[in-house]
Amino acid sequence: MAKKPMVAMQMYTFRKEAAADYPGTLKRLAQMGWPAVQVSGVHSYKAKDIGKVMKDLGLGSAGTHVNFRKLETEFNAFVDLVKDLGTEWAIIPSRPDDWAPGADGWRSFGRAMTEMGAKLKKVGLRLGYHNHAFEFQKLDGKPGYDLFFESADPGLVHNELDTYWVQYAGCDPVAYLKKFAGHIQVTHFKDMGPGQEKPMVPIGTGILDWPKIIEACKAGGTEWICCEQDETAPLETWEAARQSLESCKKWGLV
């Protein structure tokens, strides 16, 4: 029987609140019932202090987003940051803007990520990549996303699939979860409202096929589900988070 993934709140959703009062924001999330968080920047705080607050509150740590160029130039410091946050996952939130374009650019990025994944493995960490929509532009007849992962070692570079952005790009999140089953240990749950503007809405209130997404996550070995909503308006951030959590409870994930 497939193991149930752990649910986390992606802290980019609460970037304004965390910047003002990170410990207080974490405390309120724990009180709301979130079992874990995924860090997206520590703002003016120290990673070690944030990690201690998480541990004291009993919050699990679903990885942290780390800039690829920072990992290249400040490797040891960022390894310490990841470990201070009590996680094994260093996840690249997007390919560097200055990377070579085109199909060959995606292939070279796959090779560079493999090298970084090998370095991180030596210090006990794992590397992932978080997508947006631009990765799915076709180049040489294939989406750049596919070219990238075909060029990366799947044992060293894992997918952090973002369901909203796959859907936004006109692709099927379920198909990609199945295609990369076994290599998507961390998944971003993000929902899309109806209409041409494709608004971000609380999880479970939009058009994505969550029963099939959850089934594919469980079958593919997803360890962490990170709930995220970049923009919550017209809802207040805490209300949007409450609705997403209620959906996760309804689905038996929390």
60-117 residue pLDDT tens: 999 999 999 999 999 999 999 999 999 999 999 999 999 999 999 999 999 999 999 9
Q: What crossing angle do the helices spanning 102-122 and 144-151 adopt, rounded to 10°? A: 40
Cα angle, residue 164 at apex, residues 159 and 165 outer, rounded to 5°: 65
Residue 2 has what pLDDT?
59
Mean pLDDT of 211-233: 97
* pLDDT above 90 for 186: yes
Residue that is written with structure tokens 């690829």 in the block:
68
Mean pLDDT of 192-196: 96
pTM: 0.95
Q: Do residues 9 and 226 lie in contact, with contact meaning Cβ atoms separated by under 8 Å?
A: yes
Which band of pLDDT confidence, cut at 50, 70 and 90, is reported for residue 1?
A: very low
Residue 144 has what pLDDT?
98
Span 6-250 CATH architecture: Alpha-Beta Barrel (3.20)
Mean pLDDT of 51-68: 98
| Displacement of CA 233 from its chain's centroid (Å) | 21
Residue 97 has what pLDDT?
95
Output phi, psi for 164, to 5 deg: -60, -50
